[in-house]
Amino acid sequence: MTRGRFLTLEGGEGAGKSTVLETVRARLAECGLDVVVTREPGGTAFGEAVRAIVLDPAHRAMCAESELLLMFAARAQLVREVIEPALARGHWVLSDRFTDASYAYQGGGRGQPQERIADLERWVATLRPDLTLLLDVPVTQGLARAGSRGGAADRIEGEKEDFFERVRAAYRQRAAAEPARFRVIDAAAPLDAVQAATRAAVDAYVDTVEKHV
């Protein structure tokens, strides 16, 4: 059986990942692929419990090291419990965020050393996505969108704008360093244009995979 492929969606706050996720899932299903959708932090009972802790504004004293370790604790569980078994079954896995988010938020945002994150990656989650769609939007625009949904800001959404500028810069650096894996989507555009660009990127990737099987 052919191993499945691992696709991720990344971006700053309010970039539109959750909105676009359904577009990607639907497109893959139209291509006749079995798709498993998940998210980080979360995606398992343990990971969702970790998510509740890391995003709870009550834990404002959480230090950067604890935050980084919790992200990887949830990731280790997700890889073993969901992602690896699904890929081995030949399913395609679509995740709302993965390790790139740790480089962007804990590395760029919190200033944790890249090498420390790389060590954790080597230890618990060597798996690299086959394709990553980075929804790139100016910080103020993304935060305005996220704010327009209403509801209280979570612990990370409560960060200042310069934190999210560093997150965005780290994402863009990663995309520039790995152009074969990343597709950068202009997420400042109207939603229909973002969805069209997303579909085009997914179609192109599926074509490439089909040519090689």
Rule CB under 6 A: which residues touch ligand T5A? Answer: 11, 13-19, 40-41, 71, 96-97, 101-102, 105-106, 145-146, 148-149, 156-157, 187, 190-191, 194
Which letter, b or e, does each residue of 14-50 get, where b requires 16 or more Cβ atoms within 10 Å of its Cβ? bbbbebbbebbbebbeeeebebbbbbbbbbbeebeeb
* Rounded CA separation 166/174 (Å): 12
Cβ of residue 85: shortest distance to ligand T5A, in angstroms?
20
Nearer to ligand T5A, 26 or 209 (CB): 26
Nearer to ligand T5A, 18 or 208 (CB): 18
Nearer to ligand T5A, 35 or 101 (CB): 101
Sign of CA dihedral 113, 157, 185, 196: positive
Cβ of residue 207: shortest distance to ligand T5A, in angstroms?
25
DSSP 163-182: HHHHHHHHHHHHHHH-TTTE
Which of 93, 114, 110, 109 lies closest to 165, judged by CA? Answer: 109
Residue type, 156: I
Cβ of residue 88: shortest distance to ligand T5A, in angstroms?
23
Cβ of residue 76: shortest distance to ligand T5A, in angstroms?
12
HSE at residue 208, side-chain half, CA atoms within 13 A, is 11
Cβ of residue 198: shortest distance to ligand T5A, in angstroms?
10
Which of 62, 13, 53 lies closest to 167, judged by CA? Answer: 13
Cβ of residue 18: shortest distance to ligand T5A, in angstroms?
3
Please say whether the beta carbons of 102 and 40 come within 8 A. no
